[in-house]
Amino acid sequence: MILFCRFIDLFDSILILFSSFVNLFIYKIHIFDLLISILDKILTSLCHFSIMVERNMMSH
């Protein structure tokens, strides 16, 4: 799961870079930005949740 989170962090960075480039080229699209940030939040919470579940399983 922690590896999964590392992958999500990497994915996040790529997404942020990608959205920055897209924003440079297409200045008007704010919806795209919004979608990226929503996706980012979902992935981050998923990651935290998976870590919590993993820790929970280890403690049992």
Residues 6+ apart with CB under 8 A from 33: 19, 23
Name the domain count of the chain. 1
In tens, the pLDDT along 16-46 reads: 888 777 766 666 666 777 787 888 888 888 8
Instruction: Report the C-alpha gap between 26 and 48 in whole angstroms.
Output: 33
pLDDT at residue number 27: 64
pLDDT at residue number 28: 62
What mean pLDDT do residues 49-54 have?
83
pTM, entire model: 0.43
Domain housing 25: 2-59
